[in-house]
Amino acid sequence: MGFLRQHPEFLKLWSGQAVSSFGSRITTVAMPLAAVLVLHASPLQMGVLSALTVLPHLLFGLLAGVWVDRLSRRTMLIVADVARAVLLGSIPVLAMLDLLRLEHLYAVAFATGIRTRIARRAACRNRGARATGRQNGDWIRATATMPSACPARRDPP
């Protein structure tokens, strides 16, 4: 814990990543549940919803890397997470107003997928940039506690 007190910027990053990771896990369950329980979606409609959450990763994966390399990673993380929160927050608001439609869930799933791809890419780049700058034990232990948004890197044999 001493490390976190000495590095308040890392504490902000770690906290933001933890909240973002928790929200992503909830969304993975909540959006399909809303489609089934509130909108009575068919299996085909559920398949389309699932596809629209993955499609942005395929379409924008490379572009997200370029954007993150050219722009501020911190800004990208914040904007992407706030945009995801606003998009996902619109679902319960529209449901309470009895205006929620499946097309809205489709749009939110696709737009949230784009923001998720950008946020994950920025988090991975941010983590890599920080880890290469400092290799002491405290920094490595602190970075290891962050929610994992990055695939494990393996050195070639």
Residue 62 lies in a domain: yes
Instruction: State both tokens at 3.
Output: 């490390």
Per residue of the chain (157 residues), what is the pLDDT tens digit? 566 667 777 777 777 777 777 777 888 888 999 899 999 999 999 999 999 988 998 888 888 778 777 887 778 888 888 898 899 999 999 999 999 999 999 999 999 988 888 887 777 765 544 444 455 555 555 555 555 555 544 433 3
pLDDT number for residue 136: 55
Number of domains in the chain: 1
Q: How many residues does the chain have?
A: 157
Residue-level pLDDT at 132: 46
Sequence letter at residue 130: R
Quote the domain boundaries for residue 75. Answer: 2-144
Residue 153 located in a structural domain: no
DSSP state of 99: -
Take residue 52 and report the two structure tokens written for it. Answer: 């629209």
- What is the pTM assigned to this prediction? 0.74
Check residue 49 and give its pLDDT: 94
Q: Using CA atoms, how far apart are residues 71 and 76, in angstroms rounded to an integer?
A: 7
- 35-72 core/surface letters (b: 16 or more CB in 10 A; e: else): beebbebeeebeebbeebbeebeeebeeebbeebeeee
pLDDT at res. 157 = 37
- Continuous H helices in 1-157: 2-6, 8-33, 43-70, 73-96, 102-133, 137-144
Q: For residue 65, tell me if it sits in a domain.
A: yes
Contacts of 74 (CB under 8 A, 6+ apart): 126
Q: What is the CA radius of gyration of the chain?
A: 18
The answer to whether residue 69 is domain-embedded is yes
